[in-house]
Structure 1
Amino acid sequence: MGRRRHQVAVVTGASAGVGRATARHLARRGIAVAVLARGRKGLDAAAEDVRAAGGRPLAIEVDMAQYDQVEAAGQRVEDELGPIDLWINNAFSSVFAPFRETRPEEFRRATEVTYLGYVHGTRVALTHMTPRDRGTIVQVGSALAYRGIPLQATYCGAKHAVVGFTESLRCELRHDRSNVKVTMVHLPALNTPQFDWLLSRLPRHAQPVPPIYDPVVAARAIVVAADRPTRREYWVGAPTVLTILGNRIVPGLLDRYLARTGYRSQQTDQPVAPDQPVNLWHPADGVEGRDYGVRGSFTARSHVHSPQAWLARHRVITTAGLAAAAAGVAVWRRR
């Protein structure tokens, strides 16, 4: 399974969090990285990150829910940076609230950004990649793409939809014998700024369900997936693996467990700040003029390494180690 080397990459949702960390990681290869998001402050800072890491940046303000804006952004990347080799769909927005407390217009908006934003990005990427018969699309997903949890119906529904859409698309590309590759990367709970800016109707400040990982763990996995897109999916972090497999085996048990623990585990002991920004309709950095950066409020509790993710990235070494262990056991048994 050979690595693909990219010269021009597009990262959506790149003004903060996972997208920002991924743009930095790619830029260390000295390639051109287009960073797409809504907030100007975060975009300018992300472009400077790319430049400082050795890459060539292009920052474009885009609302991923608006197809015409995404289409124009894709054309601008091609005109100013060159042919797009890699497109990473990562942008999202959501609402922390029980479903019955989420207004219809809020649910629609979150779905348009988080699900249709991926559809729009994929369509634009294919528009440019298909005629050249090459390119890679990475869909950044979540363990919640396979297991819904309380208080996040908007996000879980959109991520589930991304999986179904991507599986259909993959079949069509195979039918067409296309060399354009599509892969997904499903992530665990991460210390990103989303918990400081998503619309929340919870009584206390929202938090990721522990254990919490640093966004660089996600960024490393996304870049590996971009290099090796022939693999259908990457599951990052042991909690992701356990969540997806557990939902396949005992979904009813998880229903009961999450009904009992899901509300408490997604909130801190602190009340929601009355002036907390909301990025559903407008970028949070546009309201505050603040660059949120890569990390959120839970750095002291986050892990910068994932043994499971390392094993996934180094499958040759892992397979060789398992084979050697199996051979050792066979020899021992014969004694």
Structure 2
Amino acid sequence: MSYYQGKRVLITGAGSGLGALMAEQLGRRGAEVIVTARRRKPAEDVCRRVQAAGGRGHALLLDVGDLDAIPAFRDEVHSRVGPVDILINNAGVVFGGEFEQVDLAQHLNTLQINTLGLIAMSHAFMGDLRDATQGHLVNIASASAYVGLPWGSTYAASKWAVLGFSESLRLELRERGIDNVAVTTVCPSYISTGMFDGVRSPLLSPMLTPDKVVKSILRGVKRGEAMVSEPAIVKSIDLIKGALPLRLWDEVARRSGLSTSMKHWQGK
């Protein structure tokens, strides 16, 4: 029997890209998937893909940037579907460009969705996860949670915050003796979902396919891993950065293309 068989999984931002593929693959593994998106048609389309793959699907509208609406959304989930076993905080946005040339509203919206919405969803559904036999919180961060990202400063900031929040909560749950809730943080490099069109992938970090990342996520959650990082070099960033003097690290980042990877971003 699949690890996901019969588990109820809620995925934010599942109307396209990584979230949609995760929903479909979870349906293939026998999960009951709550597909959320800001627009009804994408959510319903993905829901049908979940059902065609053999899972049970539910399409619900959700804008994680609307923090005040999240408690009512939780109540809707409970009344229409029931409590969840796994929450995957996948919804996210990215904007690239010279810092002061990007509208302030876009910077703030990045933090609102990527960080505050994720925290609000985790808070709203933590009771579900604690009541589950095997609860699991999955937060999609980024490899940029480890490094500075010129031309993407607010995106990096939002993901640094997600990593810090996830690691802190994971340790808190352990210290409180809450052993039935796991926390997995996902830190992938650039993924070819359209969000990062125009970026130039750094050396040793090729553009990832959504399929590869989804397989890594589902495998890592099944194993209860605290961190899922793709590609392998991401796991070494902290070690390399910590071992080098700052000026030398800056030069490594520049020569590897990391510091200029977002310069020509044209994503959606």
Q: Report the TM-score range of the alignment, normalised by the length of the smaller protein.
A: 0.7 to 0.9
- 1:173-322 equivalences in 2 (<5 Å): 173-178=173-178, 179-195=180-196, 205-206=198-199, 209=202, 211-229=206-224, 231-250=225-244, 252-259=247-254, 261-262=257-258, 265-266=261-262
- 1:13-24 equivalences in 2 (<5 Å): 13-24=13-24
Equivalent residues of 2:33, 2:58 under 8 A apart: yes
Match of 1:143 in 2: 143
- Equivalents in 1 of 2:146, 2:212: separation in Å? 20
Q: CA deviation at 1:246?
A: 2.6
- 1:163-182 equivalences in 2 (<5 Å): 163-178=163-178, 179-182=180-183
Match of 2:86 in 1: 86
Q: CA RMSD in A?
A: 2.5
Relative contact order higher in (CA < 8 Å, ≥ 6 apart) = 1
Code of the residue aligned with 2:141 in structure 1: it is: G
- Equivalents in 2 of 1:264, 1:236: separation in Å? 20
When structure 1 is superposed on structure 2, of 185-194 and 123-132 the one drifting more is 123-132
Deviation sequence 1:97-154 (CA, Å, 0-9, x none): 1222233222111101001121012112203223457411011121111112211111
Q: Of the two, which has the highest radius of gyration?
A: 1
- Equivalents in 2 of 1:266, 1:173: separation in Å? 36
After superposition, the Cα gap between the structure-2 partners of 1:239 and 1:98, relative to the gap in structure 1 and judged at 3 Å, is farther
Q: CA deviation at 1:77?
A: 2.6
Q: CA deviation at 1:264?
A: 5.2
TM-score (norm 1): 0.70
Gaps of 5+ in 1: 197-204, 279-335
Runs of 4+ deviating beyond 6 Å: none
Give the fraction of aligned pairs with identical amino acids, expressed as a percent. 30
Q: CA deviation at 1:263?
A: 6.5
After superposition, the Cα gap between the structure-2 partners of 1:18 and 1:254, relative to the gap in structure 1 and judged at 3 Å, is farther
Q: Secondary structure at the match of 1:107?
A: helix
TM-score (norm 2): 0.86
